[in-house]
Structure 1
Amino acid sequence: MHAMQYEITLPADYDMGIIRERVATKGSLLDAWPGLGLKAYCVRERADGSPVNQYSPFYLWRTVEGMNAFLWGQGFRGLCEAFGRPVVQQWTGLAFQRGPASTATRARKVTRPITPEEIPDVVASTRVEDGMHSVALAVDTRGWQLVEFTLYEDNPAAEYSVRHLSAPELDQLPVGRQW
């Protein structure tokens, strides 16, 4: 499993209706993408109390081939033409758990420094909660940064709203520890 995210921060006065419309019209294009476990079309809006307007999709890739086909394909090229080429963050998957919730409307991402020695304990302590769709743990070994990405059915404290969820190979993502 590979995790990936890019963040497109938009001006404070940006019409976020443009992003909502983009997701509504283009979101389903990845609903059957080979190699994609899931893509959460995450949005933060100042009108909802966020400090920024931001489009921040988060991906869990089942295969590197699927990820590369996306990054060098027309869909990502179109995003780059519309907003400029974003920095794409990538993490190595550590663990994935599915929760009892069937839908995802909110998301939370937490990053923090971690030592390699802490990883087994952090993975072992990851718990599924009521109202949780799924949770993924991944690490950027370049700076030993852990990312925890959690999708919720409804969690007002989560900082992202999920405008669409593409999950063509969600059931094929390996559950549990990834080593």
Structure 2
Amino acid sequence: MHAMQYEITLPADYDMGIIRDRVARRGRLLDDWDGLGLKAYLIRERGLRGSPVNAYAPFYLWNTVEGMNSFLWGGGFQGVADDFGRPSARQWTGLAYEEGDGSSARFAVRRRRSVPHGGLLADAVADAVDEARRSAAEDGALLAAAAVDTSRWELVQFSLWEQDTPTTDGDVFEVLHLSAPGRDRLPRGRRW
């Protein structure tokens, strides 16, 4: 599993209805993308749920590198680059994926943090795996994942929720659409 996200910060007075319309028109295009576990079409709106900014920030969990590369180099990402410029597409190597008991994805939480200095690296990533397991077990959680970027030594925790007051800490996003053609094939549990 590979995680990926690009976040496009928009002007404070940006009409977020433009993004909502964009996702309504184009969101289904990835509903059957080969190699994609899931794509959560996410937005943050300035002043809502603690957000200081307006942002469009899709988050992906990929089953295959080929699927991710096909999206990046084979046309899917080109629409974003054409409309917004070429944002940095952050990538993390998957550590864990867990399913919850939620039935829909209305909100997402993303938390990024540094891998602590000192101590064993295995302990730091084991804690991230445990956090994903605990998040997925919470009422209303649809799923939770943990991943790491070893070039920055950064952990990312990602979870999807039915309710807008998730119990997990982090940046809260509204989910406009969820494309999940390979969600059932995302490998469960710890990935090493």
- The interval holding the TM-score normalised by the smaller chain is over 0.9
What's the TM-score, normalizing by structure 1? 0.95
Q: Unmatched 5+ residue regions in structure 1?
A: none
Equivalent residue letter for 1:132: A
RMSD: 1.3
Whole-angstrom CA distance in 2 between matches of 1:132 and 1:51? 25
Q: Which residue of 2 aligns with 1:48?
A: 48
Q: Unmatched 5+ residue regions in structure 2?
A: none
Q: Does residue 33 of structure 2 align to residue 27 of structure 1?
A: no
Shift of 1:156: 2.7
Alignment of 1:4-15 (within 5 A): 4-15=4-15
Q: Which residue of 1 aligns with 2:153?
A: 144
Whole-angstrom CA distance in 1 between matches of 2:48 and 2:19? 15
Secondary structure (helix, strand or coil) at the match of 2:77 reads: helix
Q: Which residue of 2 aligns with 1:173?
A: 186
Q: Which residue of 1 aligns with 2:96?
A: 95
- Aligned to 2:165, which of 110, 133, 156? 156
Q: Which residue of 1 aligns with 2:138?
A: 129
Secondary structure (helix, strand or coil) at the match of 1:121 reads: helix
Equivalent residue letter for 1:92: T
Shift of 1:47: 5.4
Whole-angstrom CA distance in 1 between matches of 2:63 and 2:185? 7
Q: Does residue 72 of structure 2 align to residue 59 of structure 1?
A: no
Whole-angstrom CA distance in 2 between matches of 1:60 and 1:138? 10
Q: Which residue of 2 aligns with 1:68?
A: 69
Whole-angstrom CA distance in 1 between matches of 2:127 and 2:88? 30
Shift of 1:155: 2.7
Percent identity for Structure 1 against Structure 2: 59
User: 1:22/1:119 Cα in 2 relative to 1: closer, same or farther (>3 Å)?
Assistant: same
Equivalent residue letter for 2:181: P
Number of residue equivalences: 179
Equivalent residue letter for 2:125: I
Equivalent residue letter for 1:88: A
Cα deviations across residues 40-75 of structure 1 (Å, max 9, x unaligned)?
A: 001001253521110000000000000000001222
Say whether the 8 Å CA contact 2:128–2:157 is kept in structure 1. Answer: no
Q: 98-107 or 110-119, which moves further after superposition?
A: 110-119
Whole-angstrom CA distance in 1 between matches of 2:69 and 2:115? 28
